[in-house]
Amino acid sequence: MALKPQPGIMDVSPYVGGKSKVEGVDRICRLASNENPLGASDAAKEAYQSIADDLHRYPDGGSYLLRSGIADAENLDADRIVCGAGSDELLGLLIQSYVGIGDEVVYNEHGFLMYPIGTKIAGGVPVKSAEKDLRIDIDAMLAAVTEKTRIVFLANPNNPTGSYVTEHELRRLRSELRGDILLVIDAAYCEYVDNADYISGASLVEENDNVVMTRTFSKIHGLAALRIGWAYCSTEVADVLNRVRGPFNVSLAAQAAGVAAIQDKAHIERSKELNSRLLNWFRQQVAELKLTTHDSVGNFVLVNFGGAERAASALEFLKNKGVLVRGMAAYGLAEHIRVSIGTEEEMRVVIDSLTAFTNE
């Protein structure tokens, strides 16, 4: 008899991350994964190195110091925080915990691919809700809900579109959803947003037992390699996650560097300032090339080439110049590419390469 994985698993198209190398090209601009171009803070690097003599020890399974560090920095309750190996792990654990075979998970049309992937792994059915002009449409999300819906996922801001849902709309979504549906707000990019009508979702978590906010150290904190994410949720959901997660799911190095990173407010501010300056500059330069970009409150932006073939040629052209950005076909946005905001020098290289491409 042949081995057979659980239903749904073979329907998964494995997640393909951003490229990091090009054969024969030395200087590479890595702008495909929304990483922090300044890297991690010096304090985080020092903390990472400081644990070298303890590598034979298991880490604290409850990530106590990391949870306390996050709670202090963000003014939250440490008992409602669960840390994970990247927010990816926590998104998957939430699905595993609340979604069974045949249950439905609603997510927005251009939402993060890990939502449908995690749902299929659990044997659930991913249900896409249409967006309007690359913005999440709360009415469409509510209309996609059925009696089988267990979770509604929403990234705010959304990757890859860069748009966001206002506090008012987010609250309306929660109040119009059934109480037995978990609302997961993936706030991976929230630190970049300054808009007055935006909230990360922490207050909604404190007001409702059925809301989870997920966060990451992979973006503004520049620690993608260490895989650190956290969920903010009710103590009941935290109890569930603590039962299903691995007992030592966050490494010692990750915990040490994470505490230092979240305390380094100057590095966070520097990273944010660089991003907003270069995002504006880049969009203006792209407009001069007669290409359109979409409003983005994240550390990335979609550039529209007006057609899938043109976008694919641009992707290839940029790759040959050592500029690695992300093709968007997997997100149903094949006429776009997504460019992460890098250093000033990197963004100039992208503009020079796009100029050469449009002049070809």
Ligand X SMILES: Cc1ncc(COP(=O)(O)O)c(C=O)c1O
Nearer to ligand X, 153 or 282 (CB): 153
188 lines the binding site for ligand X (CB under 6 A): yes
Q: Which of 109, 169, 186, 346 binds ligand X (CB under 6 A)?
A: 186
Min separation Cβ 227 and ligand X, Å: 6
DSSP string, 120-177: HHTT-EEEEE-EETTEE-HHHHHHH--TTEEEEEEESS-TTT-----HHHHHHHHHHS
* Binding residues for ligand X restricted to 20-49, rule: CB under 6 A: 34
Residues 155, 241, 250, 259: which binds ligand X (CB under 6 A)?
155
Whether 298 contacts 257, CB under 8 Å: no
Separation between Cα atoms, residue 234 and residue 223, nearest integer Å: 26
User: What's the closest the beta carbon of residue 87 comes to ligand X, in angstroms?
Assistant: 4
Shortest separation between residue 281's beta carbon and ligand X, angstroms: 23
Identify residues 289-348 at the interface with ligand X (CB under 6 A).
Answer: none
x-marked contacts with ligand X along 195-234 as a string, rule CB under 6 A: ---------------------x-x-----x----x-----
Which residue, 114 or 278, is less far from ligand X as judged by CB?
114
Size of the site for ligand X (CB under 6 A): 13
Least distance to ligand X, CB of residue 47, Å: 19
CB under 8 Å, gap of 24 or more: what pairs does 120-128 form?
Answer: 120/8, 120/9, 120/11, 120/12, 121/8, 121/9, 121/12, 121/92, 121/95, 121/96, 122/8, 122/95, 122/96, 123/6, 123/7, 123/8, 123/99, 124/8, 124/95, 124/99, 124/100, 124/150
CB 148 within 8 A of CB 125: yes
Question: Please, which residue, 230 or 357, has the CB nearer to ligand X?
Answer: 230
Closer to ligand X at the Cβ: 34 or 149? 34
Q: Minimum distance from CB of 35 to ligand X (Å)?
A: 9
Q: Which residue type does 235 have? A: T
Taking a C-beta distance cutoff of 8 angstroms, is the pair 145, 181 a contact?
yes
Nearest to 219 by CA among 262, 277, 184, 252: 262
Give the residues across from 131 on adjacent strands.
136
CA distance 294 to 162: 8
Q: Which one, 216 or 249, has the nearer CB to ligand X?
A: 216
Helix (H, G, I), strand (E, B) or coil at 235: helix
Which position's Cβ is nearest ligand X?
86
Residue from 36, 149, 159, 200 touching ligand X (CB under 6 A): that is 159
Residues 78-117: x/- map of binding to ligand X (CB under 6 A)?
--------xxx-----------------------x-----
Binding site for ligand X (CB under 6 A): 34, 86-88, 112, 155, 159, 186, 188, 216, 218, 224, 229
